[in-house]
Structure formats: structure tokens, C-alpha cells
Structure 1
Amino acid sequence: MNKVTLIATATMGLEAIVAREVKDLGYNDVKVENGRVEFTADVSAIPRANLWLRTADRVKIKVGEFKAYTFDELFEKTKALPWADLIPVDAEFPVIGKSVKSTLFSVSDCQAIVKKAVVESMKLKHKLDWFDEDGAFYRIEVALLKDVATLTIDTSGTGLHKRGYRYHHNEAPLKETLAAAMIMLTNWKPDRPFADPFCGSGTLPIEAAMIGQNIAPGFNREFASEDWHWIGEDKWNEARQEVEDLANYDQPLDILGADIDHRSVELAQNNAMEAGFDELIQFKQMQVKDFRHKGQYGVLIGNPPYGERLGERPEVEEMYRDMGEAFKLLDTWSIYMLTSHEQFETFYGKKASKKRKLYNGNIKTDYYQFFGPRPPRKD
């Protein structure tokens, strides 16, 4: 197998960033749709995309796509796909599904039909009547959207936001993929200071350190497709060697994480240690109104409390006022804040240079961007 069509799934609002990452890996046959970025590449793209994509949720192989209005259509068109070229005779291949605005709305029925169709397809190719399913893991998904069925196989296994460093987190952790996107939407460069005054379990500072030293987000974890014989161990070894060759462990970084809660600071320190950044990232316990930094032309990114519960609103709004006053001292810095509070600018005391809609889980938020002056050019 030389070429595959891959789908990098993305949280709503992050598709353009995922597409940019895919192109940065050298893949130009890219199509951007809601919640996904599709591209065609050789098989080596499977390990490379899984290891390098910071903002995608998963990487899937697209096996087929077709209209399906009846269960018979779904069965026959699924059966006609080349499953035996992808799935070996001993593979474990469960089927999951989802259906949105489609005639075939029963997900459990769609899953059962797809499973049966795949089995029948493989029977014809392998000349067998029974599959033990005790080998490598190939999870199939049938996704129906407006009567179009997309059949995929997941190459990632655990979602790509699971980097392998965050064993501890607080009650509402920021997803690693969203944290990486928030950083990539800024003008931060590794030679400039970086700060997060609401660091929680340390996700933003750790993702910044990984970006700053060009460390692939998947360097410290495993993937389902590592066991797939037709990709081969050599391609995975080559991809991991590329990760090692391109990492810049000598890049100095000025990264600070702060939080009012000492338990969060301890969590963040432990997670930074797991990621190997305990000597690169500084963590402090402090209130946002006391936030200070001696650096110039830095980037400050925060995910403050939103005040989603009515009783918390007055306290959160007061904190936004304090934030606005404290950050006036950072007159050369660029400030980026994520919150669902629609009056954030009013309490912060300044209108954002730009706003971008992002989703933090199921919460629709705005990413408020306050651009500072450009740093002077170096000789």
C-alpha cells in the first residue's frame, strides 16, 4: 500500500490550525471541513502525523464514503470496501458509530450492520468462516452525517491530547490540544518570555515548553497503529528518529506558571517533572492582581475562571478588573485570555485587538487577543 487518505479530526474552530500543521509536515493535498482535515499521503504519514500533530484529536484512515438511506445500502456498500487490504486475519476490529441528521439514526443497528459487512468482506478474501480477533487493534467507525456514511479506522488509539505527561490534573483541566492551539494562535517565539497566571495543572506552560524546544507531542506515548504489519516497524522507527533529530533541547526558555491555589502549583510542578521540564519552567503561587514579570515583549496566555455559575460571577468579574490593572504594567507584552464571559472586555477595561471563537469542551468561549508592540529587531 503506497497512498492512504487520512482524516485528522479537530475540535470546532481549530480546523485551520490543524491544516497548517499538516502542511508544515509536507502534505499539501489538504481539504478542510467542519471538525476534520483530510489529506492524502504515503503510509509514513501515519506515524508522522500521530507523533507531530499538536492540535488534532485523532488520525484516522478513510476507508470509504457513500450515501446510505437504508440498512441494505449501508451493508452492501460497506462490504464492497477493501477491508482485507487493511485488516489482517487475526485483528481485533470493534465498530463504533455516530449518526447526525440521517435517516439511519439507530447507532447500535448501524454498528452491527457494519461489523457484519466487514466480516463478510473478509470471509471472501481470507476464505475463512471465523475470526478469533486476538491480534492487533483496528477500531472501525461508521459516522453518518446527513445520510453520508464515512467509514474510518482509528490509527491513534488513545486521543492525541493524551501526551503521557499529565498524570495529575485539577477539576477542569484545559485539554492539551486546545492549549497548544492557544499558543500557536499567538506571536510567541521561544526567545521571548511566556507566562500563564492561571496555570492549573500546568498544561499551557508545558505545551509552550514542548513547542519552544520543537519536541513532538507524541514522543512519550504509544499508538494503536504501531502494531500494524503493513505500516512496518521501520517507518515507526524512522518517524521517531526524526522526532529526536528535530528536537532542540538546548533552546533556553523563560516560562512562568502561576496560580492562586498551592495545590495546583504542586500539580503543575509534578506534571512538568513528568514531561522533563521541571528545570525549564518556573511555578509560583500568587494572585493575578499581584502578577509581575521583569521580562519585556513577552506573551501572557490565560484560561481564567469563567463565572459559569451565577453565584461566582461577582467574584470573577472583580478578578477581571484586578487583572486589567495588573497587566497595565506589562506594557510591552501581548495578552491572550480565554473565557465564556461575554462582558470580559468591560471588566478588564480594554477592548481586544481581535477575538476568536473557540470551544473549551462543550463551552463556547472567546479568545481575547490584546496585541503588544513588536520587539525591536536584533542585529
Structure 2
Amino acid sequence: MNTYELIAPCHFGLEAVLKKEILDLGYEISQVEDGRVTFIGDDEAICRGNVFLRTAERVLLKAGSFHAETFEELFQGTMAIDWEAFIPEDGKFWVAKASSIKSRLFSPSDIQSVMKKAMVERLKKYYGIAWFPEHGASFPLRVFIYKDTVTIGIDTSGDSLHKRGYRILASKAPITETLAAALLLLTPWNRDRILVDPFCGSGTFPIEAAMIAAKMAPGMNRSFLSEDWKHLIKRKCWYEAMDEANDQMDTGAKVDIQGYDIDGAIVKAARQNAAAAGVDHMIHFQQRPVSALSHPKKYGFMISNPPYGERIEEKENLPALYREIGERFRELDAWSMYLITSYEEAEKYIGRKADKNRKIYNGMLKTYFYQFMGPKPPGRKLENKGN
């Protein structure tokens, strides 16, 4: 089997969570940068990375890296890469996305055009043809240029890995599946502890928690672009990855996971999404306002993505809402609370300073993951997954 460098992009601020996931799969980390983790693996790693990684946005096969300050250097550097090792004669190839930070080359459209021309020149000479039919498997490229260093990855995933295949319906401001999973993995929650989301929306936090509890691989119910790369990845690798995912699954796990929302239609959507994910039997969804939040048991977890007033008319309601969150939290006995929000006065109205506060970029939106730690249950050493 060939050995590759594989690049896994993730949300800014959550690289450590993804790094742990990759190490747990048994792969060597070669580099950790803002928003991505690079690791060493073979074609089996491409399959297992796509099927098992909960917090990566996609898995990219690193084609090459070089320095370029001019478009001529970009052209020559791109043409020097062994594209024939990846792309067959009938392959469809293009630069799907180019980003540039602190570099002399900054126009995405020009970068994309120059690189495509360079690839065509290289492959024309190799295959001895002047025109490419491009009716075979797809090879979209993603290019990062940082301080004039060009890094090129071929996308093995296709649709972003946050698209697990279960979200049929979404609420107004859904949290992505990858971000929800990463935040859950940052907490000490495990499947024998109560978990409640009082603003569950379309159910992403409860569904991701149930999938973690059931050891259900996030990529089990979807396909990947590189399944068509039969010259690089044997079908056997995909079958083995899916067999591994099926073997470890435990959908009979006993859990107490609950999701509430004030909107009855969105609660119905959450139930449908949970059913599509195969975990509806593990979650109790109910239409209920946050003012009715209560639970008789101790040592539970609340995790949520509450409203944070992106629309001006909603901002005036935030002080009362966050005050209510704080009041309900204080009534819960020895619980922990984790909230992701862009509302910078959250702690003020909750009435308590968070024990930890992690800055996370949700797309272009700067958010804060407020962590209010409750006491550990007696007689149990609780592993803290955050760091």
C-alpha cells in the first residue's frame, strides 16, 4: 500500500479534539496547524478517516507543497507534482477552492486558473493527449497558501463530513454535526451520565451524543467521492472499514439523553432526524420552554446552542433568556453546563463566571464555549477530555 500525508480540516480552536481522534484510530500526526491536522496513512486510512472521524470537515490527500510568490512559480510548482500518480487519463480535475493568508498571491480565481493550466500541461505530456474527456472519477483540489507556502490537497470526501446523511430538516440556526461532536468530546460526558439540551433545535447535540454512546461511526450512512478511485483505493478497504464500523456498534446502550425546544414543529423535525440516524430510541424529545427545565437526578450535563440574537430584534430578549438559563441551572443538583454562543454578556446574565471559556470560530462567526463545571460523582474518577 502507498503511504500518504492526509490533511483533515476542522473548526478553528478544535484541533486538539481532532488530533486525539486521529491518534485513537492509530495514525501518526505529522503537523497541527490552525484549522487542520495532518497525519500519515495509507489507502486504508483514507477509508477509515472518512468513516470514523467525527470532528473533521473532510479528508484530503496531500499532493504536494512548495513556495510561490509569483504566478510563474505557482505554475511551475504545480506542474512539478506527479499528478499522474493520482489522476487517470479520464479523471475530472479542478481547483474547487483556493484560500490565501499573508501571501503575495491572493486572487482565488487566478490561483485556480493557473493551477488548472499547469495540471493540464503536465498530464498532456504524460498521457500523450491534447484534450481530456474528464468523464471519469472526480478529483477536486483544495489549495491553502499561507506565507507564500502552497499546500495542495485532493478531496477524498466529496460532501463535507458534517453531512452524516441524517439531517432531513434543520432549524433556523443549526449547529453543524462536526462542531456538535467536537464540543461533546471536549466535555467529560460519557454515556452513563444524563445529557439534556434545552434548545435542541433539529436535534444535533442529542443525536451526536447518542451516536457517540452507541459507538456509531458518523460516516456509516453516506458515500464518499474517493469510492470511485478504484486505481488508488481497493474496494476491499471500504468494505473492511464498514465491517469495522458495524462490529463496534452498540445501539442497545442504555442512556438518558433528552432534547427540548419551545417550537413543536422543530421538535417533530428533531425526532425525524433521530430516526434517520437510527438513534430515535435513545433520545427523548419534548416541546418545552427553558423555564420548565428540571431534573430530579444529580450529576447531569446540559449542553446547548442557545439563541444569541443575530437579528437586531432578538437582542433585546437575550438578557432575560440568559438570566432564565442561569436560574434553571442553579436549580439542578450538582450539574455541569456547556453553552456555545456569540453573546458576549452570557456570563453576566447567567450570574456566574464560566470555569473555562474557549474561543471557537463557527464559520466566520466568533463564538465562545462557556464551560460551567459541576462536581464529580462520588466514588468515580472522571476523565476530563478538555485540555
Q: 1:99 is aligned with what amino acid?
A: S
CA drift of 1:238 comes to: 0.7
Q: Are positions 1:356 and 2:358 aligned together?
A: yes
Instruction: State TM-score, norm by structure 2.
Output: 0.94
Q: 2:304 is aligned with what amino acid?
A: G
CA drift of 1:124 comes to: 2.4
**Greater CA drift, 111-120 or 186-195:** 111-120
Counterpart position of 1:193: 194
The residue matched to 1:93 in structure 2 has which SS?
strand
- The whole-number CA distance in structure 1 between the counterparts of 2:151 and 2:137 is 22
CA drift of 1:127 comes to: 2.3
Q: Are positions 1:342 and 2:331 aligned together?
A: no
CA drift of 1:354 comes to: 1.1
CA shift digits 1:100-150 (9 cap, x unpaired): 332222222221221111122222222222211101111022332222111
CA shift digits 1:311-338 (9 cap, x unpaired): 3233221111111111222122111111
| Alignment counterpart, residue 290 of structure 1, candidates 289, 292, 295 | 292
Counterpart position of 1:91: 91
Mapped contact 1:114–1:142 kept (Cα < 8 A)? no
- The whole-number CA distance in structure 1 between the counterparts of 2:189 and 2:275 is 23
- The whole-number CA distance in structure 2 between the counterparts of 1:320 and 1:23 is 38
CA shift digits 1:159-203 (9 cap, x unpaired): 010000001001111111111111111111101111100000000
CA drift of 1:378 comes to: 6.5
Q: Are positions 1:275 and 2:272 aligned together?
A: no
**Greater CA drift, 106-115 or 75-84:** 106-115
Q: Are positions 1:327 and 2:345 aligned together?
A: no
The residue matched to 1:138 in structure 2 has which SS?
strand
Q: 1:128 is aligned with what amino acid?
A: I
Counterpart position of 1:44: 44
Instruction: State TM-score, norm by structure 1.
Output: 0.96
The residue matched to 1:94 in structure 2 has which SS?
strand
Q: 2:274 is aligned with what amino acid?
A: A
The residue matched to 1:65 in structure 2 has which SS?
strand
Q: Which ranges of structure 1 fall in alignment gaps of 5 or more residues? A: none
CA drift of 1:50 comes to: 0.7
Q: Are positions 1:365 and 2:332 aligned together?
A: no
CA shift digits 1:14-52 (9 cap, x unpaired): 111111111111012331101110111122100100111
- The whole-number CA distance in structure 1 between the counterparts of 2:107 and 2:335 is 52
What pairs up with 1:1-379 in 2 under 5 angstroms?
Answer: 1-96=1-96, 97-229=98-230, 230-377=232-379
CA shift digits 1:65-117 (9 cap, x unpaired): 11111222111111111110111111111223233332222222221221111
CA drift of 1:376 comes to: 2.5
Q: 1:14 is aligned with what amino acid?
A: L
- The whole-number CA distance in structure 1 between the counterparts of 2:283 and 2:270 is 10
Mapped contact 2:297–2:333 kept (Cα < 8 A)? no
The residue matched to 2:317 in structure 1 has which SS?
helix
Aligned residues: 379
Q: 1:22 is aligned with what amino acid?
A: I
CA shift digits 1:246-272 (9 cap, x unpaired): 112221111100011111111111111
- The whole-number CA distance in structure 2 between the counterparts of 1:371 and 1:47 is 37
- State the identity %: 50
- The whole-number CA distance in structure 2 between the counterparts of 1:368 and 1:69 is 41
Q: Which ranges of structure 2 fall in alignment gaps of 5 or more residues? A: 382-387
Mapped contact 1:76–1:117 kept (Cα < 8 A)? yes
Moved over 4 A (4+): none
